[in-house]
Amino acid sequence: MDGKVIVIGGGLAGLMATIKLAEGGQKVDLFSLVPCKRSHSVCAQGGINAAVNTKGEGDSTWEHFDDTIYGGDFLANQPPVKAMIEAAPSIIYLMDRMGVTFNRTPEGFIDVRRLGGAKYSRTVFAGATTGQQLIYALDEQVRRFEAQGLVKRFEEWEFLSLVLDDEGRCRGITVQDLKSLEIEVFPADAVILATGGPGMIFGRSTNSTINTGNAAAIAYMQGATFANGEFIQIHPSAIPGRDKLRLMSESIRGDGGRVWVYKDGKPWYFLEEWYPAYGNMVPRDIATRAIFKVCVDMKLGVDGENKVYLDISHLDPHEIDRKLAGVVDIYEKFVGDDPRKVPMQTFPAVHYSMGGLWVDYNQMTSIPGLFAAGECEYQYHGANRLGGNSLVAALYAGMVAGPKAIEYTASLTRSHAELPLELYESAKKETQAKNAALFDMQGTENPYRLHEELGEWMVDNVTIVRENDRLKATDEKIQELMERYKNIGVGSGEAWGNQIVPFTRRLWGMMTLARVITLGAMLRNESRGGHYKPEFPERDDENWLKTTRADYSPSGPRFSYEPVDISSIKPRKRRYDVAKEGSKQNG
Amino acid sequence: MDKEITFIIKRCKDPNATSYWEEFKVPYFSKMNVVSALMEIQKNPVNARGEVTTPVAWDCNCLEEVCGACTMLINGKVRQSCSALIDKLEQPIRLAPLTKFPLVRDLVVDRQVMFANLSKVSAWIEIDGTHDMGPGPKIPQKVQELAYELSKCMTCGSCMEACPNVNSNSKFIGPAAIAQVDLINSHPTGALQKEKRLLALMGEGGIADCGNAQNCEKVCPKEIPLTRSIAKLNRATTLQGIFGWLGK
Ligand SMILES: Cc1cc2nc3c(=O)[nH]c(=O)nc-3n(C[C@H](O)[C@H](O)[C@H](O)COP(=O)(O)OP(=O)(O)OC[C@H]3O[C@@H](n4cnc5c(N)ncnc54)[C@H](O)[C@@H]3O)c2cc1C
Ligand code: SF4
Ligand code: FES
């Protein structure tokens, strides 16, 4: 096979896609902003879901499927979710065979814990660093294929644009070496984008600093449809910090952590009172809004600030060390208190994007030959993601995208080698010209400060509670920032190791997607999953059981809507004060 | 009162340029760490003398000490800048790049050699394929706990920086890769190819270059028992050397 497939992104989705491609005999060029082992996936603490039923609680893939659809407020297309859930146990076993150090039961089986929105223990974990363990295992498998000459790795290279042929097919990419800042073009027969989430649009979040979403924004600006952008998950518990909002994993609640504030001088466990059936284990959107209500509306936050207690001081210290050591370490390291003794203080933070590039069931975007997998696409979580479902979705999507890309390249009548060289030369020239234009920016605005401003507006107006007038004002603000962007100064023009020029480029992508998120939220006049509008507090299936599709135009996103495939489970009202009524598995 | 923190940062615009120290003053805030100070400098790239300068380049990503990217010398000690709290540091605070890796710019170095070393020792398990073959072997809790300690390595390079035997004249593979051999060789499936990894450690720049200075373990932010792994593999490679493929 002479063909070439490019994978952009070395997180879980990208590495899994690479392995599948290489295993299929396909040559792969793998690009990543950072060494793959430093990708954002390393941050995942809580674990990965699969209905392995180790505890004999009667869990099944159907229950997991139903929890996922229900937890996602019925916005996800059901067939791909079902396929993912059914594959989940075998994905865990595969990672187990690769040597991931999953925690064990006394008998030596893979141990499981419970995360929010689930009635069963189905989250497999490796200490508090599940994501890191998964990524290290996959990265080493990729290294094995590298040793066999099937994979070529380009770490610390940034994807800058797609090369599209005269039929509109994706035929390669232009990239920048982040050391020399030189531009190169790489031809291919298909491209898989696995570039992760866009948390940095909100300034500070639980995400890593490279999670700007710019790669997805680039694809969007070149014609790929973006779906459900307005669905942003706010995690209920993070440690507020100037540089980052550090996640305190949901596993803390899963392993017995309780959320409370003082009311009338006594601890008030408001989640347990309001949601007796799930208590502290309600899904993220529910917990986040409850905390917001207690702190902002009722003004009962700790010390009058926007903070609540997240308490594990009543748990057995040995159990804490065995299961939560990593998370507890983070708290101790960054706050200085010992959560075994003193309740932690946390507040909600932007965490995850359910929205992303629109893909079909083969993970192909609306651009032929461009695939997307992982957090950069929208397919598996609907309006709200369950804890532990993202890792499995990233791995599964990678497993689908790899083979589907091979199938696609086999169906092509011309390989990239038969395309005119001109196509690649002009793409490279165009990117070089844009790069030179960035270096020429010598205005007075500082890109990092513009980013901070963008983040503040987004957090204040486009997160937990959304109001139409404020969304409108935010969109106007983003446009103002985009005007001011033109007056950025990038300083002295030395290219080598320059970080300000690449950041400035990413900032444009962040602003572009910020509009997709904000306007998508403004238009969706209902409340569903992570999207909550006091003006429209109920879910409105009649008008809004629809996927949002945003298409790029220079003056702003154009929106359209498409129906959701609800072929397996009929929508029902989502509530967590009583136990979830099971859906019936119909033939 | 507006407190300011003084940073003295070693700067260098490329590997061929001469380096120099530049001083910055950054307004203090509570729970401040080194990374957030560097972020403030990005937003206001003016040095202590009031001159506009280029923002300091440094690597970071996760900001919670799990990706390893932000490792540098802080007051002469190798550590992660995201978990370095200002309140616990002596001032002025001196920041410098790692010295055992090629410099890129300012505080950024190139640690690709660490990943290449993992390739040298085949730090992977040879699975037959990704098709569904059920779970791997059962593993006792005790064994998992020991393995987990080793699997927390984030390839930060602190151990390499601290090791006197890692330097420009040596090919020493360093402690991190050795610990990864220990990790994979102790896995029931990984053990099936353990000789291959032992042989790699017996080659040039292998475990014999360890001078037993034991600095590595002291600086490892993940408290990985590096000297234990090194001792264990020293024995294993010796046996391998004596008994060859028959050795146990
Ligand atoms: C703190 C935290 C904890 C979490 N815990 C859990 C959990 O316990 N369970 C769970 O299921 N989910 C969890 N999540 C979510 C989950 O970690 C992510 O959604 C998932 O890891 C995303 O994987 P990915 O492969 O899509 O992307 P990433 O791991 O983000 O990888 C993206 C890759 O793309 C590359 N890239 C990006 N842009 C470019 C570009 N322009 N050019 C070249 N390369 C590029 C990057 O270098 C990187 O290699 C957590 C998230 C956070 C923030
Ligand atoms: S062994 Fe420790 S010091 Fe060395 S690279 Fe790994 S985490 Fe860093
Ligand atoms: S930024 Fe990842 S270790 Fe500090």
Amino acid of residue B111: R
Q: Alpha-carbon distance A273 to A280, whole Å?
A: 10
Q: What is the tens place of the pLDDT at every residue in B172-194?
A: 999 999 999 999 999 999 999 99
The CATH number given to whatever domain includes residue A480 is: 3.50.50.60
For A198-236, how does the pLDDT look when each residue is reduced to its tens digit (9 = 90+)?
Answer: 999 999 999 999 999 999 999 999 999 999 999 999 999
pLDDT at A586 over 90: no
Same domain, B63 and B82: yes
For A288-347, the pLDDT digits (tens) are 999 999 998 899 999 888 899 999 999 999 888 877 887 888 899 898 889 999 999 999
| Residue B21 distance to chain A (closest CA, Å) | 18
Contact A306, A139 (CB under 8 A): no
pLDDT at B246: 56
CA distance B237 to B179: 14
Do B124 and B91 sit in the same domain of this protein?
no
Question: pLDDT for A93-120, tens place per residue?
Answer: 999 999 999 999 999 999 998 887 788 8
Task: With beta carbons under 8 A apart, name residues in chain B contacting A335.
Answer: 31
* Among B90, B109, B128, residue at a domain's last position: B109
Residue A322 belongs to a domain:
yes
For chain A, the straight-line distance linking the first and the last C-alpha, in angstroms and rounded, comes to 42
Do A263 and A296 sit in the same domain of this protein?
A: yes
From residue A6, give the alpha-carbon distance in Å to each of A219, A367, A371.
14, 15, 10
End position of a domain, from candidates A292, A324, A351: A351
Beta-carbon separation of A491 and B45 below 8 A: yes
What is this model's ipTM? 0.96
Q: How many folded domains does chain B comprise?
A: 2
Determine the Cα–Cα distance for residues A490 and A503; give it in Å rounded to an integer. Answer: 10
| Residues B159 and B226 reside in one and the same domain | yes
Domain boundary among A351, A376, A393: A351
Q: B115 pLDDT exceeds 80?
A: yes
Residue B53 structure tokens:
């300068």
Q: How many CB pairs under 8 A join A and B?
A: 194
Question: Are A450 and A564 within one domain?
Answer: yes
Instruction: Using the mean position of ligand 1's atoms as its centre, give its distance from the Cα of residue A196 in Å.
Output: 5
Contact (Cβ atoms closer than 8 angstroms) between residue A190 and residue A170 = yes
Going from the Cα of B206 to the center of ligand 1, the distance in angstroms, rounded, reads: 34
How far is the alpha carbon of A488 from chain B, nearest alpha carbon, in Å?
12
Domain identity same for B203 and B105: no
Per-residue confidence band for B242, with pLDDT thresholds at 50, 70 and 90: confident
Interface of B with A in 196-225 (CB under 8 A): none
Give ∠ CA A271-A277-A278 in degrees, rounded to 5: 55
- Mean predicted confidence (pLDDT) in B24-41: 95
Q: What range defines the domain where residue B160 resides?
A: 112-246
CATH code, domain carrying A265: 3.90.700.10
End-to-end CA distance of chain B: 67
- Please report, rounded to a whole number, the percentage of residues in chain B having pLDDT higher than 70: 98
Residues B147 and B191 in one domain: yes
**Overall number of domains in chain A:** 2
H or E segment to which residue B24 belongs: strand B20-27
Q: How far is the CA of A530 from the centre of ligand 1 (A)?
A: 19
Domain boundary among B109, B130, B149: B109
Residue predicted with more confidence, B156 or A387: B156
| pLDDT computed for residue A587 by the predictor | 41
The residue behind tokens 């028959």 is B246
Assess whether A87 and A191 both reside in one domain. yes
| Residue of chain B with shortest Cα separation from A107 | B140
Please report which confidence band the pLDDT of residue A575 belongs to, taking 50, 70 and 90 as the band edges.
Answer: confident
Q: Are residues A195 and A264 in the same domain?
A: no
Can you name the residues that pair with A310 across neighbouring β-strands?
A259, A344
Per-residue confidence (pLDDT) for residue B245, from 0 to 100? 58
- Please, are residues A267 and A314 in contact by the beta-carbon 8 Å criterion? no
CA A280 vs CA A88, A275, A585: distances in Å: 25, 8, 28
CATH code of the domain covering residue B193? 1.10.1060.10
Residue B247: per-residue pLDDT: 46
Verify whether ligand 3 is closer than 6 Å to residue B65 (CB atom): yes
Query: For B115-130, what is the mean pLDDT?
Result: 97
pLDDT in tens, A184-198: 999 999 999 999 999
* Last residue within a domain, chosen from A327, A351, A375: A351
**Same domain flag for B21 and B42:** yes
The closest residue, in CA terms, to atom 4 on ligand 2 is B159
- Helical segments of chain B, H only: 34-43, 112-120, 141-151, 158-162, 175-185, 194-202, 215-219, 226-243
Q: Are residues A164 and A281 in the same domain?
A: no
Name the residue among A212, A357, A384, A372 with its Cα closest to residue A284.
Answer: A384
Ligand 2 contact via B220 beta carbon (within 6 Å)? yes
Q: Is B176 in the pocket of ligand 2 (CB under 6 A)?
A: yes
CB contact A127 to B (< 8 Å): yes
Give me the amino acid identity at A229.
Answer: G
Q: Which residue's CA lies nearest to atom 27 of ligand 1?
A: A196
Spatial distance between the Cα atoms of B162 and A538, rounded to a whole number of angstroms: 59
What number is the average pLDDT over the span A247-262? 91
Query: Are B150 and B236 found together in one domain?
Result: yes
Counts of helices then strands in chain B (DSSP H, E): 8, 7
> Percentage helix, strand, coil, to 5, in chain B?
35, 15, 50
pLDDT digits (tens, 9 = 90+) for B219-235: 999 999 999 999 999 99
Q: Could you tell me if the CB of B84 is within 6 A of ligand 3?
A: no
How far apart CA A557 and CA A563 sit, in angstroms, is 19
Of B65, B111, B139, the CB nearest to A108: B139
Residue A442 shares a structural domain with residue A559 = yes
Whole-number pLDDT of residue A584: 64
**CB interface of A with B, residues 194-213, below 8 Å:** 208-210
Report the residue of A45, A208, A450 to disrupt the B interface, i.e. the one with the largest count of B CBs within 10 Å: A208
Among the partner-chain residues A103, A210, A241, the one whose CB lies closest to the CB of B61 is A210
Q: Are residues B97 and B131 in the same domain?
A: no
- pLDDT > 80? residue A166: yes
A185 and A262 belong to one structural domain: no
Average pLDDT over residues A265-272: 96
Query: How many angstroms separate the Cα of B93 from the Cα of each of A272, B74, B77, B104?
Result: 47, 7, 11, 22
Structure token digits, residue B100: 């055992």
- Which domain range does residue A201 map to? 1-231+354-578
